[in-house]
Structure 1
Amino acid sequence: MSYFDCYLIPVPTAKLAAYKDFSARMAVVYREHGAVRLVDCVLDPDTVDGAQFHADGAQSALEGAALRGFPAAAAVREGETVVLSWTEWPSKEARDAALPRVLADPRVQPDDDQEMIFEGRRLIAGGFLALLDLAAADRGGK
């Protein structure tokens, strides 16, 4: 069963291009070590305040409470946006076996003179097991 490393990352808007380049370089290493898929999504600016969220009916079900959006969850600051990122692995076992090799790969280490793209201590991360994957089910998976 697939396993996912997921991240919510506050990224300065001015550094989105640098983040994209960084992520593309990291994706090569992760794929070489068995990652199935890597996805980075940037928050749609039209949904920043939750006003354009597609589930307007959910708002009324909260009895006046506001939906908590990704900017609040990621504690974004002025001039930042949110990147939602995930890496899909064939299984937790495959991920656990590959991750030490990925992290030891010199290509994932920052250069001494490289400017930080985002504050790593503010990154929100977690490992997730697939609960429902309709795309996989459509292809004959679980």
Structure 2
Amino acid sequence: MTYIDGYLIPIATDKLDAYKAFSEKIASVYREYGAIRIVDCLLDPGDDDGKQFHADEARDALADAGPLRDFIAAADAGPGETVILSWTEWPSKAARDAGLKKALSDPRVQPKPDEEMLFEGRRLVAGGFTRLMMFQEHRAG
């Protein structure tokens, strides 16, 4: 069964180009070791004030639960930062365990002594997920 490594990454907006290059390099190595898909999503700039929720009606319906957390709060992103939601899809947990071990020991993914850190590892939010459900795209017509 498909296995997903998910990440929430706070990053300085002026480092986005460097992150893209980093992610492309990492993705090519991960794919060599069995990853099916690597996806990076950038938080919509219209949602960057820390007060957004995907639907006003849902926010209003949940008002009694207290303040809702958005991705900015969850990632502890500060001024001048944005959030990347990223995931790597593997064919199975066993394929992920074997592939990730190989990928992380590959010299191509090891930081160079002169490379600047793109984000703080202590603020990276990560987890492994098994798929619960998946809904396919429906096209009318």
Same fold (TM over 0.5): yes
Alignment partners' CA distance in 2, 1:129 and 1:95? 11
SS at match of 2:116: coil
Alignment partners' CA distance in 2, 1:47 and 1:33? 35
Per the TM alignment, residue 50 of structure 1 is displaced from its structure 2 partner at its CA by 5.8
Q: Quick check: 1:4–1:129 contact (8 Å CA) kept in 2?
A: yes
Alignment partners' CA distance in 1, 2:70 and 2:23? 24
* 1:1-55 Cα shifts (integer Å, max 9, x gaps): 1100000000000000000100000000000000000000010011123655432
Alignment partners' CA distance in 1, 2:78 and 2:50? 16
Moved more, 46-55 or 7-16: 46-55
- 1:16-95 pair list within 5 angstroms: 16-49=16-49, 53-63=53-63, 65-95=66-96
Q: Quick check: 1:48–1:69 contact (8 Å CA) kept in 2?
A: no
SS at match of 1:103: helix
The CA RMSD over aligned residues, in Å, is 1.7
Q: Quick check: 1:74–1:124 contact (8 Å CA) kept in 2?
A: yes
Alignment partners' CA distance in 1, 2:21 and 2:58? 36
What is the match of residue 115 of structure 1? 116
Letter aligned with residue 62 of structure 1: L
Q: Quick check: 1:50–1:67 contact (8 Å CA) kept in 2?
A: no
Alignment partners' CA distance in 2, 1:29 and 1:10? 23
Per the TM alignment, residue 99 of structure 1 is displaced from its structure 2 partner at its CA by 1.2
Q: Quick check: 1:49–1:69 contact (8 Å CA) kept in 2?
A: no
* 1:49-91 Cα shifts (integer Å, max 9, x gaps): 3655432211111135332110000001111000000000001
Question: 4+ residue runs of structure 1 moved beyond 6 angstroms?
Answer: none
Distance change in 2, residues 1:11/1:88 (3 Å): same
TM-score by length of 1: 0.90
Alignment partners' CA distance in 1, 2:76 and 2:123? 8
Distance change in 2, residues 1:73/1:51 (3 Å): closer
SS at match of 1:98: helix
Q: Percent identity over the alignment?
A: 61
> Unpaired runs of 5+ in structure 1?
none
